[in-house]
Amino acid sequence: MTGTAVEAERRKFDALAGQWWDPDGPMRPLHRMNPLRTGWIAQRLGGVAGKAILDVGCGAGLASEAFARMGAQVTGVDAAGAALAAARAHADAGGLDIDYRDGAPEDLLAEGARFDAVVALEVIEHVADRPAFLAALAGLAKPGAPIFLSTLNRTARSFLFAKLGAEYLLRMLPIGTHDWRMFLSPGELGAALRPAGYRITDLAGMTMSPTGQWRETRDLAVNYLAMARPAG
């Protein structure tokens, strides 16, 4: 496996490739969360039409397709080959031109690629070498360009709701999707971004209602979004 991708994580998400686009399947929470995530990012970019966006850990392309439908020039990269095959097939069926790459962000770095925004949604909690991963994201951003991440805070509430509740009680996610020990707080994310030359400039919580709909909140205890820009 190249770069910062973890083999066990790749296998986990490859196994879900055939069900990724089922809105009522194991990726249902991501389907419902996606409009909030991509809308929040688009708003902070002042719109994405015509912008070059890199979707790191794109999976089968939920966020990539949303950005492409907004008019962005999207590149998606993932180490899970089966998920990428599902992404390509779904984009082709929908008439979307998305450049999907098999590999890790470090592979794009070697090509000298640069983007107007770099996005990594629900990814960093599955990455072992976070400093290397964030350094790669920073290196792929054009000068002054932002990085966007979404992830889970490591709190008692996230263990209760995102791990026990979502995986074992409600069966909203396959058991084993997350390792709570890999979750990280906004403070830890900010500290990890500093060596890459970035600082967090905006944060928002994401909260799911009893009906399964997601909304932006100030509560960062479970799911949250972060925008980071070059420091200094």
| Residue 121, annotated as binding a ligand | yes
| Residue 78, annotated as binding a ligand | yes
Which residue is listed with tokens 């055939």? 18
Give the C-alpha separation, 167 to 183, whole Å: 15
Residue from 57, 143, 164 nearest 100 by CA: 57
Structure tokens at 23: 């809105």
Tell me the β-bridge partners of 150: 121, 225
Helices and strands: H and E segment counts in the chain? 8, 8
Structure tokens at 88: 């390509």
The HSE-up count of residue 57 (CA atoms within 13 Å, CB side) is: 25
Q: Measured between alpha carbons, how far is residue 48 from residues 6, 32, 69, 78, 206 in Å?
A: 30, 21, 10, 21, 21
CB atoms within 10 A of CB 171: 11
Instruction: Report phi then psi at 153, rounded to 5.
Output: -75, 150
| Residue 194, annotated as binding a ligand | no
Contact call for residues 222 and 165 (beta carbons, < 8 A): no
Annotated binding residues = 37, 57, 78, 121
Annotated binding residues for S-adenosyl-L-methionine = 37, 57, 78, 121
